[in-house]
Amino acid sequence: MKNKMSRLFLGLTMSCSVLTLGLSSAQAADCSKLAGCAEKSCKVEALIANAKAKGHDQMVAQLQSSLKHVKANCTDEGIKNDLQIEIAGVQLQLESYEAELKAAKAANELDRTYKYTQKVLAENYKLTQLKQELAKMK
């Protein structure tokens, strides 16, 4: 659970930072060659460098705190476990959406059919992304 919270905290921090600062494609490519905790650290370090370059001192402080948290608490095994749990959750959600889609098709409800088709597609995409991330860890 601790690792899950760490992952969520870092993900939120990184998402907000990426939206605010933006990573150059060169920085993102460098980190994409890494996996697990090394990739997390690399991404945060790139965000710190970018924030410093733009003079965002408060963001730099927040990101440095995140980096300390990653270095102190992150384990590749923890990330793998979190990914496996997340994959299982997405698979359950996907099964639920597929059942709803089947029911909507049987009832010939076009709006619900469209809605659940979109949800199934989104969950399949999410599942593919998570599986790729897990495969990268191995």
The two three-digit tokens of residue 28, written as one number:
């993102």
Is the pTM higher than 0.95? no
pLDDT per residue as tens digits for the range 56-93: 999 999 999 999 999 999 999 999 999 999 999 999 99
Cα(16)–Cα(98) distance, integer angstroms: 32
Cα distances (Å, whole numbers) of residue 63 to 93, 110, 136:
33, 46, 25
pLDDT per residue as tens digits for the range 11-62: 545 444 444 445 554 555 588 888 999 999 999 999 999 999 999 999 999 9
